[in-house]
Structure 1
Amino acid sequence: MSSVYQHFRKEEQGFIDRVLGWKQDTETMYAPKLTDFLDPRQVFIVQSLIGTTGEVRAAFEGGEGAERRRCLIYPDYLQPAFDDFNLLLIEVSYPAKFISVEHKDVLGSLMGLGIKREKFGDIIFSDDKIYIVVAQEFSSFFTMNLNQIGRNAVLVKEVSWDHYSPSDEKWREKFVTLSSLRLDVVIAGAMSISRQKAQLLIQGGKAKVNFKAEEHPSFECGEEDILSVRGFGRLRIGEIEGKTKKDKYRLKLYTIG
């Protein structure tokens, strides 16, 4: 087991245990297991531990181009279909001509209702509407309880997937060569700022890793981490392509902002 842990962070061991438990249950019961919504780093861990071949496999769905997705861990006899992921789409209407609503406002209102983040997927702004991908088993809670965002009244209803359109955010691919995978080094290299400025932003509470605040510049980044820095946008770490002859890391990054 320790050989598995060594490839991941110490704080990820609890999630690793859960994934291995899901895999074992599927092997033993020969029946599929559907998870909550996973962030990209968690998806990467599941893919690393289970993969898409063998007697137990993993598939993911959250809508086209989704960042957060549910995972179906299934025996190889099964051919997963979209309906197996139990996803519903809810539409949030608000007076867009008179008020401005941001992603953080929606997220804050949902969390304020006691809804755990893993129970819903991407939040998508499209024209004058907001669409939220939710777990089918909790959809009625959303439609019955989400009646305002901030101080503004909203109308919520379930809609068909015909209304769904992927986020229009465009990830830009770039390659960087870095001396290490420290958070301050990655942010500095990806966002073309000095390492000292990156450290100040991190220590000032303006950086997040996988949607959680991270104030330690020495934090070690990994594949499929999503980093965001207030005022500078977001980036996702793709492949870590090894080291150069000068012992530097070559990374594929995707940036927004």
Structure 2
Amino acid sequence: MDDKENTFLKNRIRELSSACWQRDIPTYTDFLALDEQAVFRAEQGKLPPVKFLLAGGYPEAERKIACFLPSYAEENDPSWVPIVSLDARPADSRFTEELTHRDYLGALMNLGIERSCVGDLVLEDKVCHLFCLERIADYITREFTRVRHTEIVCARSPEGRTFRPKTERVSGSLASVRLDALVALAFRLSRTKAALWIDGGKAFVDGTCVTSASFSPKPGAVIAVRGLGKFRFAGTGGESKKGRIFADIDRFC
């Protein structure tokens, strides 16, 4: 994000929070990427004292919107979040290509939809679970009919469905519980290479950018590294005879 985009986002966040505070109405940003969420967190102390929440449609979401809530809203009430969950799948599973995240996202963008209106897309068993702003949900279900050469159908997810992305358990031993060691374990890197990603501002712990390789995440923290992927630090379980710490992580598939 360049300086111009940074300034625009800061002004937009201040404008929306002020409108909520002065008029006592709910206001929302579009979906924010991790670096944009970092800007939001940096601005929090400068905003009016309104209630807010960050939401992406499911607990582990990477892209989230900031919701500023009126005084009469219950704190952290998800019913105020204008996000809709959609399921897109091939019309006939017998005649379908191997479609990727990039294929689905590219097809959505070809409909003229801005990236900030769409949150995470998660592929599972030939179904693309996607999260979008409520105002464009009907347009997507109506117009999203093809990905590459494959005809698809898109509809709102079943009422009451809870979505949990698939994870893969990865275990190993660490000299110490540091961010660079966990990133190295998750993505099969050397600690030196992992540190380069962290130093470059690519690592986010629970949505906050962390540039210190020695930072110690707490068990349960969700760590995302832009360009590599995302995982949850599941915790530790004892030490080896040489004093190394056994650690478990759940890497999102």
Which TM-score tier does this pair reach, normalised by the shorter chain? 0.5 to 0.7
Aligned-residue offset at 1:120: 1.6
Structure 1: runs of 5 or more not aligned: 1-7, 179-185, 200-206, 208-216, 239-252
Q: Which residue does 2:216 correspond to in 1?
A: none
Q: What residue in structure 2 maps to residue 68 of structure 1?
A: 63
Task: Return the match for 1:133 from 104, 116, 131.
Answer: 131
**Structure 1 ranges of 4+ moved more than 6 A:** 171-174, 194-199
Give, as a single letter, the amino acid of the residue that structure 2 aligns with 1:45: V
2:189 maps to: 192
Q: TM-score, normalised by structure 1?
A: 0.64
Contact 2:202–2:226 at 8 Å: present in 1 too?
Answer: no
The aligned counterpart of 2:245 is none
**2:14 matches 1:14:** no
Taking structure 1 as reference, are residues 157 and 255 closer, same or farther at Cα in structure 2, changes over 3 Å only? closer
* Partner residue in 1 for 2:19: 25
User: 1:111 maps to what in 2?
Assistant: 109
Q: 1:58 aligns with which of 44, 49, 52?
A: 52
Moved more, 55-64 or 113-122: 55-64
TM-score by length of 2: 0.65
Query: Which amino acid in structure 2 is aligned with residue 38 of structure 1?
Result: L
Task: Provide the residue aligned with 2:85 in structure 1.
Answer: 89
Supply the distance in 2 between the matched residues of 1:55 and 1:196 (Cα, whole angstroms).
41
For the Cα contact (< 8 Å) 1:50–1:58, is it kept in 2? no
Maintained 8 Å contact 1:105/1:149: yes
Q: CA deviation at 1:197?
A: 11
2:57–2:85 contact (8 Å) kept in structure 1: no
Which residue identity is paired with 2:80?
D
User: Partner of 1:78 in structure 2?
Assistant: 73
Q: For 1:59-109, what per-residue CA distance to the aligned partner results, in whole angstroms no more than 9, with x for missing partners?
A: 122222222222211244421532211222222121445421111110111
| SS of equivalent residue, structure 1 residue 162 | coil
Q: Residue by residue, what CA displacement relative to the aligned partner does 1:44-67 show, whole Å, maximum 9, x if unpaired?
A: 33233237x973122122222222
| Corresponding residue of 2:164 | 166
1:145 Cα deviation (Å)? 1.1
Q: Is 1:44 matched with 2:42?
A: no
Q: How many residues align?
A: 209
**Paired AA for residue 61 in structure 1:** A
**Within 2, Cα distance between the matches of 1:68 and 1:177?**
21
**Structure 2 unmatched runs, 5+:** 210-223, 234-248
SS of the aligned residue for 1:36 comes to coil
Alpha carbons 1:26, 1:32 under 8 Å: kept: yes
Structure 1 residues 58, 50: CA separation in 2 closer, same or farther (over 3 Å shift)?
farther
* Structure 1, 17-26 or 102-111: larger mean CA deviation: 17-26
